Amino acid sequence: MKLDLNQIRQPETPFEATYAPDRFADGDQDYTVAAPVVLRLTIYKDKARVRLAGRVTTTLGLECGRCLEPYALPVEGVFDLQYVPLADAGEFAEREIGDDDMSVAFYEEETIDLRQLVDEQCYLALPMKPLCRPDCQGLCPDCGTNLNQGVCGCTRVWVDPRLDVLKTLITSDRKNDDA
Ligand SMILES: [Zn+2]
Ligand SMILES: [Zn+2]
């Protein structure tokens, strides 16, 4: 998944590739890649300076944070990245620090690692709290039944914490009565 810059001779080169999901299975990510990864981009090359602009399309497999069931998250990551040779990193940082209108990465040996680009786009697409659907009912805290799939026998009464205090008062009141 390397982009060989020696092969790029035009200032503007379209690039398209599709990678099988199992090529992304080696990492210890919080997701699985569940569909082929389609990469469509334009390579802009100005001497050593390279800009990649395009999109990554795939589907990620995630686990719902509430019911723990696996679910699919379609991803379409749009990127516009600038690359400069690692050898110029110091000079570049000095010159353009604070220039945050574009992301900058570094490349070595005339090669850009597209795997890294895809990984990054996948991470950016991850939700803060993965949910299989916005109204996921989650699991019953008592018996573990997936409440999206059916109800369990447990009595689940949502108790307002304020009412809980009241209940304690009533209970202790009863105890006093018994005494
Ligand atoms: Zn869920
Ligand atoms: Zn239950």
Per-residue pLDDT of the chain (179 residues; tens, 9 = 90+): 999 999 999 999 999 999 999 999 876 788 999 999 999 999 999 989 999 999 999 999 999 999 999 999 999 999 999 999 988 877 766 555 555 556 688 899 999 999 999 999 999 999 999 999 999 999 999 999 999 999 998 875 666 666 666 666 666 665 555 54
Please name which ligand lies nearest the alpha carbon of 144. 2
Predicted TM-score of the model (pTM): 0.76
Please name which ligand lies nearest the alpha carbon of 149. 1
The dihedral sign for the CA sequence 149, 154, 155, 156: negative
Using the mean position of ligand 1's atoms as its centre, give its distance from the Cα of residue 73 in Å: 13
Q: Where are the domains of the chain?
A: 2-125, 137-179
The answer to whether 63 and 51 have CB atoms below 8 angstroms apart is: no
Please name which ligand lies nearest the alpha carbon of 154. 2
Largest interatomic CA distance in the chain: 93
Please name which ligand lies nearest the alpha carbon of 138. 1
Using the mean position of ligand 1's atoms as its centre, give its distance from the Cα of residue 77 in Å: 24
